[in-house]
Amino acid sequence: MRFIFKWSSTLAIWGVVILGGMTAFYAYDLPSTDKALEVTRRPAVTLLAHDGSKMASIGDLQGRAVNVKDLPTYLPHAVISTEDRRFYNHSGIDLIGVARAMVINLKAGRVVQGGSTISQQAAKNLFLTPDRTFKRKYQELLLAFWLEQKFTKDQILTIYLNRVYLGSGTYGVDAAARKYFSVPATKLTVFQAAIIAGLLKAPSRLNPRADIKAAISRGKVVLANMVAAGYLTEVAARRAAKSNLRSTHNHPAQKIGRYFVDWISEQVRGFIGPQSGDVTVQTTFDARLQARVEHQIERYLAQNSKRYGVSQGAAIVMSPEGAVRAMVGGRNYQKSQFNRATQARRQPGSVFKPIVYLTGLENGLLPESQFKDSALSINGWKPRNYDGKYHGEMSLKEALSRSINTIAVKVSEHVGRGNVVKTAKRLGITAPLTTSPSLALGTSGVSLIEMTGAFAVLANGGHGIWPFGVEQIKNFSGRVLYRRQGGGTGRIIERRYVKAMDDMLGEVILTGTGKKAQLQRWAAGKTGTSQSFRDAWFIGYTRQYVTGVWLGNDNDAPMKKITGGGLPAIIWQQIMNDAHADKFVGKRPRVARVKPQTKEKSFWDKLIRSILSAD
């Protein structure tokens, strides 16, 4: 007996020494507990469409802080009966629960039940990472003991219920209740509370947004646990399981406009700063129109992809003031998040020519001014027309409608390439532009959103715009943090030049290269095709909408002779028909003749003219 006592005491002492050493070692770099209750998550951004409907949520959502005593009793009961039935009887570690979990896991041959207490889970959520290491588990035990010493049981449960992750970017029971059932946590029903408690096992897989059937099934398991723990009668559990849960379907996951969502999410913090917390953003997005634009792009690409060797497309629809209503950045967001409407810079080809002709009008030319379509050589560079022919004398109006390359270059050389670049910059083109003679033919890469924005200036009568998608931003309490004010840069093109461009670009659709884009209303636009058919564009406008369409391949491979007046014009027509489905068909605007610039008349000239013109 003395021998056994001696070595038992020795082993006990060494056990205490080793345990103390381990505790000291792992406690040395424990995270600070001073900031235990601070929120450490990404602020949530909720995006609303133009009509106020919810379209997407970004970041992590945390609801209002709730106290256990303010919650319906069945919510903490659901959590306790499922996660830690002996919560109020242990001091941070439930040895009975650990032993029970070990037996169950050994019988199953795999881990089917954990032994962590709510105190341990709270410690992990507050201070530690989810890494599955011995060090993390030991530190979790130490912090669980600390929590038990520092706070009451109800306080620990309150901390846990406010900080636990419950799927779909939600942290805490109040955020989950609002996300899944559109009610605060204080208004949850018994079965809704059971479903939320059931999420603790696998929040990403069992939440109602991911799998409503799995969520309901798991909720019934929680109800059974509540009955077993004595918190609920079997009759009450059966009644709860039959309750209506249609509210879980109120806000289905956003499946359209993903490129628009990405575009907006990159801008929000720039408007309000990084420390603004959860916000709600009112956008310019039109969900109905977006769905139609996505349908038309995919429809025509699916029908013509192999035939014409085209794999990608993009489209932008905006108001003449620059409010982006729809945005398609590619055929399949799941396969590629690269936004070809805002991030890609492609050669616009003849879509750039209106900028050249506008510069000509502002420098004294008229739509009726005559230029000769003939061979041209500038430092050895010789532009050619699409058909390889020359057509002699014609007006600028006809040259634009027929997309004559030589005359566009001659106009650019006549007014000066530097002036053409200045006009482009004034219209909102920020991409670097070449100053070579080929500038007039759109050989510098630009984005679809910028080119569409340049046409919007013509659509709104000559006022500068910046394409935008955010109208207003509010914080969690409803205070306005940002509200869009003003309409851009003011008038940047004189009205007479805008009307002349309306007439010239209207002719493109009536008789020129854009005939396939004709609508049952007045419209103006321009086709564009880059070298070797690598890019095909159509951008045009009415008084209600401005739309740009681009087709091409990500690897810059040539298509099989797709021009801007072909498939892009057809897609543009379909999109605009959809956009104007509920719009009144107005009359074609009256076009004023652009008068040549003349010197100011003297006083005597005006007096003599008035006398001669008098009756």
Instruction: Cite the active site residues.
Output: 83, 350
Total residues found in the chain within this entry: 615
- DSSP letter at 515 equals G
β-partners of residue 473 are 281, 482
Q: Contact 262/343 with Cβ under 8 angstroms?
A: no
Q: Which tokens in the block code for residue 366?
A: 């008229």
CB under 8 Å to 171, separation ≥6 — which residues? Answer: 41, 60, 61, 62, 162, 163, 164, 165
Q: How far apart are CA 383 and CA 411, in angstroms?
A: 13
Distances in whole angstroms, Cα of residue 61 to Cα of each of 170, 199, 587: 5, 16, 50
Q: How far apart are CA 453 and CA 317, in angstroms?
A: 10
Radius of gyration of the chain (CA): 34
* Cβ neighbourhood burial of 527 (10 Å; 0-12, 13-18, 19+): buried
Calculate ∠ Cα 191-58-343, nearest 5°.
Answer: 150
Contacts 24+ apart (CB under 8 A), 184-187: 184/63, 184/64, 185/63, 185/66, 185/71, 185/75, 186/66, 186/70, 186/71, 186/72
Q: Contact 408/441 with Cβ under 8 angstroms?
A: yes
Beta strands in 396-516 (DSSP E): 463-464, 470-475, 480-483, 490-491
End-to-end CA gap in the chain: 141
CA dihedral 415, 421, 425, 430 (to 10 degrees): 170
Q: How far is CA 397 from the centre of its chain?
A: 40
The DSSP string of 127-193 is H------HHHHHHHHHHHHHHHHHS-HHHHHHHHHHH-B-STTEESHHHHHHHHHSS-GGG--HHHH
Distances in whole angstroms, Cα of residue 277 to Cα of each of 38, 127, 425, 469, 473: 13, 21, 36, 20, 12
Q: Which tokens in the block code for residue 514?
A: 């854009």
Q: How far apart are CA 323 and CA 321, in angstroms?
A: 6
Residue type present at position 488: G
Q: How far apart are CA 4 and CA 563, in angstroms?
A: 95
